[in-house]
Structure 1
Amino acid sequence: MTSFFADFFSFSFLLRALIGGSLVALCASLLGTSLVLTRYAMIGDGLS
């Protein structure tokens, strides 16, 4: 099992994709939460 993850992260493009996807998920979750809490949910629908 450990060798699977070592092989998976040996490819640089997969590592960059994982980091990029994590950053996008973090930004989207923070933006979505702040829009809902300030009752601008329709702006969130427009952004998506």
Structure 2
Amino acid sequence: MKILIAPDKFKGSLTAEEVGKTIAKACLAQKPSSQINFQPLADG
């Protein structure tokens, strides 16, 4: 399975990179064979 993770930051708590890594870790825990593509985004 291919998964694109493209989060924005959570103002005052987590950076976009931290959010993405957390989501990727959870995805891989459920489906270890997944191909994760991570691209942090920003609004504005």
Normalized against structure 2, the TM-score is what? 0.43
Q: Which of the pair is proportionally richer in helix?
A: 1
Q: Who wins on radius of gyration, i.e. which is larger? A: 1
Asked which structure has the greater RCO (Cα within 8 Å, sep 6+), the reply is 2
